Amino acid sequence: MPPRKIIHVDMDAFYASVEQRDNPELRGKPVIVGSPPTERGVVAAASYEARKFGVRSALPSVTAGRLGPTGIFIRPRMEQYRAESEQIMAILAETGADVERTSIDEAYLDVLRILAETSDADTALNNAVPIARGLKERIRRERNLSATVGIASNKLLAKIASDFKKPDGLTVIPEREKAAFLRPISVRAIPGVGRVTEQVLLGANIKTIADVQDYTGDLRVLVGSFGPVLRNAAFGEDERVLELGDEVKSVSSEETFGHDTDDRRVLRQSLRSQAEDVATRLKKRHLGARTVQVKIRYGDFTTLTRQFSVEEPITEAGDIYRLGCFMLARERLVNRPLRLIGLGVSALTESVNMQLTMKDVL
């Protein structure tokens, strides 16, 4: 089988960069996308200037305000970011490569079928460099944004390569040098190594990928069945193929209130708005959902979720709203003021209308 050529494209500080592009006065300044520190909320994104202060995604806005007192808070414009993402993904698709979109601001490309065949893995990777450079140049010229790119023989290495030199970088991990390249990198860079697993590994004095490569014991004793996967990844082995298409596993919407509330009118209005948002997004993708989930968070940050499944897919906002209200009442979840409420759907499939349409055509 010819050696694979995987390109990972990762937009640089995407939300914040869009805001800096659209408002030149923000360029070079610490931009924090999220609710202001005077309101309850979290950081959605931070520019590189803000990250120097330790501001990062998912931080409470009040904490971000303390870390970066000169930060400029901008409320998220998700529709604008989604629209920008579509423009960028279209540029990637025009290469003719197979594309796996993994989030709003990153994607993998397998360029194997659009380049001349070669039996030498490193030659194959070098042949992919002009495509990567062309993508970076087009994104900068047409969208006035920067992207960092990684090139390697598999998804694991391509992702690590794109994280290696940000922002606006381009890194190739040669196939013959992949094990050596990985050695100084933190073990947290390996997919599946979260905080809990990292603590277990640190207990065995395993801090870097080099420590995994050099470990002479049985990693299964430390991390169970993940052990063989961890060892293979440490040597740069990854057999995952690109997941093509634009599959969505769930759709959700939620609201954090400025003040805890148990006002039924406020809660009902919030749920109606969320149901409309979810239904609109389902219909755009011709999807229906068999499971509806309601999520609530109390003032002490206790978070609960409940879900209810139906046999036939639903698409209408009214159905989603009613199921949400049903679960809230059934579980008596509004027994004290809420900090957050949300609705989501999963178990997605083609909507009934789409199925009927396709059947009629056939």
The catalytic residues are: 106
Structure tokens at 129: 């460099």
d(CA 108, CA 101): 7
User: In sequence order, which residues have a C-beta less than 8 Å from that of residue 190 and are 6 or more positions away?
Assistant: 156, 209, 212, 230, 233, 234
Distance of CA 119 to the CA centre of its chain: 34
d(CA 84, CA 74): 17
Neighbours of 293 (CB within 10 A): 20
User: In sequence order, which residues have a C-beta less than 8 Å from that of residue 288 and are 6 or more positions away?
Assistant: 282, 312, 313, 314, 315, 348, 349, 350, 351, 352
Structure tokens at 344: 């989501």
The answer to whether 100 and 244 are in contact (CB under 8 A) is yes
CA gyration radius, the chain: 23
**Torsion, Cα of 173, 175, 181, 187 (10° steps):** 100
Provide the phi-psi class of 110: left if phi over 0, else alpha when psi is between -120 and 50, else beta. Answer: beta
Provide the phi-psi class of 100: left if phi over 0, else alpha when psi is between -120 and 50, else beta. Answer: beta
Q: CA–CA distance from 332 to each of 73, 170, 264, 265, 325 (Å)?
A: 37, 53, 13, 16, 10
User: In sequence order, which residues have a C-beta less than 8 Å from that of residue 180 and are 6 or more positions away?
Assistant: none
d(CA 323, CA 172): 50
d(CA 165, CA 158): 12
Q: Which residue has the tokens 């990972």?
A: 8
